[in-house]
Structure formats: C-alpha cells, structure tokens
Amino acid sequence: MLTLTHAQARRIALAAQGFGASRPAPVTMRQLQRTVDRVAQFQIDSINIVRRAHYLPLYSRFGPYDTDLLDRAAGRAPRRLFEYWGHAASMIDVRLEPALRFRMARAHQEAWGRMQQVRQDQPDLVASVLAQLQRRRGTAREVEEALADTLRATGERRSEQWGWNWSAVKSATEWLFWSGEVAVARRTLQFERIFDLPERVLPAAVASAPTPSDAEAMVELVRRSAAALGVGTLACLADYFRLDQAEARAAITVLEGSGELEPVEVSGWTRHAWLWHRAARPRRIAAAALVSPFDSVVFERRRLRGLFGFDYGLEVYVRGPKRRYGYYVYPFLLGERFVARVDLKADRQAGELVVRAAWLEEGLDPQEVRGPLRAELELMAGWLGLPAVRIVPVQDWDLPGNGRPLAL
C-alpha cells in the first residue's frame, strides 16, 4: 500500500482544490469552468460581512475577477451551475443535477421544520404555490402577493418579516425546491431566490437526463468528492456532499474496483484513506490566499486539523464574549500552510477593509507572514472597491485568540 507523508497529502489536497497555480489575468469563463470541474460547488451563505460567500472561492484561487462571470454561469444560458443542497446550500456543477435527485426524492424524510408542516397540513396551499410558479417565475414574496386573495380566504397570515421567520408560502416554496418540483433561476439583489420550473432553468440535456439509481448517484458524488479532495478518509469523502457514510462506503468500494480510488496510508493518520487516481502530486505549493469560512478547502474541520494542524471554527453564531478570534475570520494560506487567521469586515460607507483582529499560528515567524498578508489585504480591498485597509490596534481587540496577535 502506498504511504504518503503528511506534507505530500497536504500538497495533494491543496492542488486538488486549485491552489498553487499562477493567477491568470484576466480571469475568463474558461478558468471558472476549470474550477467548477475541480471543486464542483460553491457554498452560499446569507452573511455579507465582506462579500457573499459564493464569490470568494474564485477570488481565493485567482485573485481579483469580475463577479459577473459567476452570475452568468449560475443565472444565464448556457447554465454551468445550479442552486441546490450540496455540502449546504450551494451553486453546484449543473452536470450533477441528476445525481442529486436522490436527495429530492428523500425530501419527505430529510426536509425539516416548517417545510414538513406545510407539506403535511396544507397540501392545497402547496399546490397553489406550484400552480402560480407554473404560470410565472418569482420570489416567495412575489408568489405570496399573487396569492393574496387565496391567503385571505383561508385566513393564512402574510409575512412582513422574512429571513427565518417563514410564512406558509415561503415554507411551501422551499419545500417545492427541496423536493425538486421547482428550481432557482437566480437570486435577486436582495439575495432572495427566484423560483421557476426545472425545465425552464436547467439545460435541456440535463433536465431530460435519466435519473440514476441511488447507488449510481452515490458513486458519482463520491467520485466528484474524491477529485475535489485529492486524498481523504471516508468522513471527508462523505462530508463533501453530506452523504450517508454507509452509502459513501459502498461507493468507495465501487471506485476502488474501477481503479479510480487507491487505498493509501497517510503518516500520522489513524483512519483509512483513499487517493484519487488522477490527483496531482506537486513538490511545492506556492499559494497566498485569504480563504472564506465557507470555502470547500475548509469544509471538514477534522480534515483541517489532520492535514494542517489548523483548529478552525466559524464563530459567527458564538456570543461575543465567548469568541476567541473574531466574528468572521478568514484563514490565511501561505505556501502549503494556514499561517494566520484574520477577522475582516468591509466597511463600504467608510471605504475601508477593516482588519478587526489577526492571529499568527504557533511556531511561525511574524516577519515571514506580515508582508504577504498585508499584500493580500490590499489586493482584496481593491477587488472590493475599497480604497483603504484599516487595521484596528491590537490593544482594542478584546479577544483571547491564541496568545499570538499579529500586528500588521
């Protein structure tokens, strides 16, 4: 059995995710497609502290680029991405839509909360929402307005507050989306989903493609996970698309048999691992990148610890006094290591990218990190259209961190 050193596994993983290559200028649809081919999905999140999460992975790999590229790839023909549940809500390679129909078919078991309640208790409302979307695409809010008379007749409240305070119509649209009866055509500037019928959203070749069996779908999804990760354990390969581990393990067996996955040992790992048969094995990774908390390279936190010795967690939902590093912390990748973490905020009114805190990882020389990090902060500020980078003084951080504040 092949044995990989810790450093080899780390470089394989970064190369599989598209880090280490030279940054093209300008970034074109060809580079975007190559990244989609690699990572398969860009996670979506509603938090907009710096920029929407799905725009950041391309920036981390390529540097400044025109975000209209991603908007076109996800919202116009020929559509390269579609929105659905991958690792989480994500823009996903549209070629994977047939493989994800298993999740749509399992919506009765997997959808949660108000979606299930509306499905079970108000089937007529769900049918009315679907009929309205058959007539015309729209946001949940627009559907609710179109069905105002129906809602008044049934006594159903309309929602003046959105977010997680879902009305029945919002819940019905989300149920129809989860179950695959409607799709997302695009997002509005306010980040609301515009729903439409799948056959009016997906490329014809995708919409008409046969639905694979669940086992076939698992093989395809684990295949794409393996290609995106380069090397990984069962937990890594299953987590990338949030698959059941037993089903993922069966898919791994199939991919072992086809020669696409090779069992390997990784120095320092106690769990079984597999190597993607086409994984590049670079001798070095020359990367310098601020990485979004929702980037696929940091999806699996145990993997991060095992590959990089990097103990990382998003603290957005941690109460302020209990945070260690900050509200919205970006790992900083330099070479093949995560060397620092930076709490960032785009203050658009002031025209500043604000560094609210920065922390150096253990055993590293701040002189080797400070210059490259400062350069990346300046680059990001320019991409965001912010004229300045402002560093909050260390004495004002009021965070425990790891005891190694990095003065910039």
Residue 216 lies in a domain: no
pLDDT in tens, 129-143: 999 999 999 999 999
pLDDT band at 257 (very low <50, low <70, confident <90, very high): very high
Q: Is residue 295 part of a domain?
A: yes
pLDDT of residue 149: 73
pLDDT in tens, 191-220: 999 999 999 999 999 999 999 999 999 999
150, 179, 202 - which closes a domain: 202
- The residue among 179, 185, 186 whose CA lies nearest residue 126 is 179
**CA nearest 335: which of 369, 296, 370?**
369
114: helix, coil or strand?
A: helix
What residues form DSSP beta bridges with 263? 274
Residue 64, SS3 per DSSP = coil
Regarding whether 387 and 294 lie in a shared domain, the answer is yes
CA distance 266 to 136: 53
Which conformational region is residue 337 in: left (phi greater than 0), alpha (psi within -120 to 50 degrees), or beta? beta
Cβ-based neighbours of 282, under 8 Å, separated by 6 or more:
11, 12, 15, 20
Region of 335 (left: φ > 0; alpha: ψ -120 to 50; beta: rest) is: left
What are the pLDDT digits (tens) for 321-379? 889 999 999 999 999 999 999 999 999 999 999 999 999 999 999 999 999 999 999 99
Structure tokens at 262: 């090779």
Question: How many structural domains is the chain composed of?
Answer: 2
In a domain, 185, yes or no: yes
* pLDDT higher than 50, residue 407: yes
Task: Flag whether 299 is in a domain.
Answer: yes
What is the tens place of the pLDDT at every residue in 65-88?
Answer: 999 999 999 999 999 999 999 999
Mean pLDDT of 107-119: 84
293 shares a domain with 198: no
Instruction: Please report whether residue 13 resides in a domain.
Output: no
Given 202, 223, 254, the domain boundary residue is: 202
Q: Is residue 292 part of a domain?
A: yes
Range of the domain at 308: 287-392
* 8 A C-beta contact, residue 336 and residue 16: no
Burial 60-88 (b: 16+ CB within 10 A, else e): bbbbbbeeebbebbbbeeebbbbbbbbbe
Q: Is 356 left (phi over 0), alpha (psi -120 to 50) or beta?
A: alpha
Q: Give the pLDDT confidence score for residue 222 in this predicted structure.
A: 99
For strand 261-266 and strand 2-4, is the pairing parallel, antiparallel, or unpaired? parallel
CATH number, residue 182 = 1.10.10.10
Helices (H), 160-266: 168-178, 198-201, 204-207, 214-229, 234-239, 245-257
Largest CA distance in the chain: 69
Q: Does residue 138 lie within any of the structural domains?
A: yes
Mean pLDDT of the chain: 94
pLDDT higher than 70, residue 39 = yes
State the CATH number of the domain containing residue 380: 3.40.630
Q: Does any domain span residue 69?
A: no
CA nearest to 14, candidates 290, 293, 297: 297
Residues 157-190 pLDDT 10s: 555 444 445 789 999 999 999 999 999 999 999 9
Residue 213, CA distances (Å) to 76, 85, 97, 101, 182 in order = 29, 18, 13, 9, 21
Arithmetic mean of pLDDT, 256-284: 97
